[in-house]
């Protein structure tokens, strides 16, 4: 929908009306806790979402009505948009926003899933029923609580295919004795932990996802290896001190603030024995932001594709994965977002946590790090407490 003439700030652009229904759909608009407007032929169905919209919604004169008001002066031909998060508590059809605003939330699921800070930023524009929801709603669970619950082995085939090679390359970067103790943080379904155990290391795998750890236990049993599995948060590690801690495959960065990442690094510091080593593998922000936003691939039984949207205000990458099992037709969908670090940012956090940076590489092969390196691989040590 676009304007056909100049519009002054505060002018009513449209009266939004329809029949009240209790069940939301892609083409309804929420006006109450369990009330939604439905109008199959109404023009307002063509108004797009934007995180920095040109219009806002306000209550009308009765429950079956809202008013769409210009937020500022609009030129003829300018698109009319509003922020769906101001009216929808939980969208029937979530989607990935690509509006490009500095305040873009990325994955639009509804006001229910906004952080407290995001809700505060919208507080003056939230419709009354959303404000009622917010007052009675607990802080939403972090996005990563449910993002890693897929347990079909087919979904992980592209990762499993390179697990042994990644472990081999990782070990070349560390100075470890045979049988050393290793903590694999954010171990997921155990692809690295199991390979390390095959090589005779004493391995502990830690992950927050009980579903993925269930997969890991079954895989370790089939492989005939012993691994200690911990269902825990990396910000509060409770394990014997280790010779090494690994955080591989961009797992460091999933937390929602740099303060939380610092807490995690301090927890890792305490989980290391004096002189113990930390290895972190992360996407290099300065390389990642210049990559194509879409990729796809295919294995014998999985067709997958991904889309990436970078949010410059927070330096977070919003990544959506989709996949289809070529044999069964099963569809998969996963949405994650993680902090992208430049070298100086990650190194600063590591040192702030009391660890000493020893080496920085551009990949697991140990190539020198440059601004164009695809990865940021850091080896750090816990200072030896002995005199």
Assigned token pair, 252: 């460091």
Q: First vs last Cα of the chain: how many Å apart?
A: 72
pLDDT digits (tens, 9 = 90+) for 69-117: 999 999 999 999 999 999 999 998 888 887 878 888 888 989 988 888 8
Q: What ranges do the domains of the chain cover?
A: 12-140, 146-381
Residues 6+ apart with CB under 8 A from 160: 153, 191
* CA angle at 293 for the pair 375 and 153, rounded to the nearest 5°: 70
Distance of CA 145 to the CA centre of its chain: 10
**pLDDT score for 336:** 92
SS (H, E, C) the chain: CECCCCECCCCEEEEEECEEECCCCCCEEEEECCEEEECCCCHHHHCEECCCCCEEEEECCCCCEEEEEECCCECCCCECEECHHHCCCCCCCCEECCCCCCCCCCEECCHHHCCHHHHHHHHHHCCHHHHHHHHHCCCCCCCHHHHCCCCCHHHHHHHHCCHHHHHHHHHHCCCCCCCCEEEEECCCCCHHHHHHHHCCCEEEEEECCHHHHHHHHHHHHHHCCCCEEEECCCCCCCCCCEEEEEECCCCCCCCCCHHHHHHHHHHHHHHEEEEEEEEEEEEEHHHHCCCCCEEEEECCCEEEEEEEEEECCCCEEEEEEEEEECCCCCEEEEEEEEECECHHHHHHHHHHCCCEEEEEECCCCCCECCCCCCEEEEEEECCCCCC
**pLDDT score for 387:** 33
Integer Cα distance of 275 and 234 in angstroms: 20
**pLDDT score for 386:** 44
CATH superfamily of 146-381: Vaccinia Virus protein VP39 (3.40.50.150)
12-140 maps to which CATH number?
2.170.270.10
**pLDDT score for 99:** 82
CB 155 within 8 A of CB 323: yes
| Dihedral angle computed from the Cα positions of residues 146, 151, 153 and 157, in that order, rounded to the nearest 10 degrees | 0
Residue carrying the six token digits 């949207």: 309
Q: What is the pTM of this model?
A: 0.72
pLDDT exceeding 90 applies to what percent of the chain? 74
Residues of the chain predicted below pLDDT 50: 386-387
């Amino acid at each position: 929908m676009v304007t056909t003439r100049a519009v002054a700030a505060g002018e009513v652009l449209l009266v939004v009306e329809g029949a009240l229904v209790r069940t939301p759909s892609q083409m309804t608009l929420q006006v109450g806790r369990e009330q939604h407007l439905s109008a199959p032929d109404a023009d307002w169905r063509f108004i797009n979402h934007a995180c920095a919209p040109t219009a806002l919604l306000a209550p009308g004169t009765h429950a079956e009505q809202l008013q769409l008001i210009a937020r500022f002066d609009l030129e003829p031909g300018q698109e009319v948009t509003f922020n769906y998060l101001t009216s929808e508590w939980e969208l029937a059809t979530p989607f990935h926003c690509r509006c490009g605003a500095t305040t873009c939330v990325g994955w639009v699921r509804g006001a229910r899933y906004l952080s407290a800070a995001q809700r505060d930023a919208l507080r003056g524009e939230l419709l009354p029923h959303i404000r009622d929801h917010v007052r009675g709603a607990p802080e939403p669970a972090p996005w990563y609580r449910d993002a890693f619950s897929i347990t079909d082995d087919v979904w992980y085939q592209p990762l499993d295919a390179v697990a042994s090679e990644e472990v081999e390359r990782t070990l070349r970067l560390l100075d470890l004795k045979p049988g050393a103790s290793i903590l694999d943080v954010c171990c997921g379904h155990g692809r690295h932990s199991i390979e390390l155990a095959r090589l005779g290391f004493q391995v502990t795998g830690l992950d927050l996802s009980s579903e993925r750890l269930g997969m890991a236990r079954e895989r370790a049993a089939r492989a005939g290896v012993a691994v200690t599995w911990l269902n825990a948060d990396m910000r509060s590690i409770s394990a014997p001190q280790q010779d090494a801690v690994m955080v591989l495959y961009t797992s460091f960065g999933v937390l929602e603030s740099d303060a939380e990442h610092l807490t995690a690094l301090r927890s890792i510091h305490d989980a290391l024995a004096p002189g113990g080593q930390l290895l972190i593998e992360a996407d290099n922000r300065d390389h990642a932001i210049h990559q194509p936003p879409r990729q796809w691939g295919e294995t014998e039984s999985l067709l997958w594709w991904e889309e990436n949207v970078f949010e410059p205000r927070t330096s977070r990458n919003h990544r959506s994965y989709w996949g289809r099992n070529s044999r069964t037709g099963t569809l998969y969908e996963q949405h994650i977002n993680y902090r992208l670090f430049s070298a100086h940012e990650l190194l600063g956090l590591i040192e702030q946590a009391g660890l000493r940076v020893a080496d920085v590489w551009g990949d697991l092969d140990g190539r020198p790090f440059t601004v164009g390196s695809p990865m940021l691989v850091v080896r750090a040590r816990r200072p030896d407490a002995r005199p």
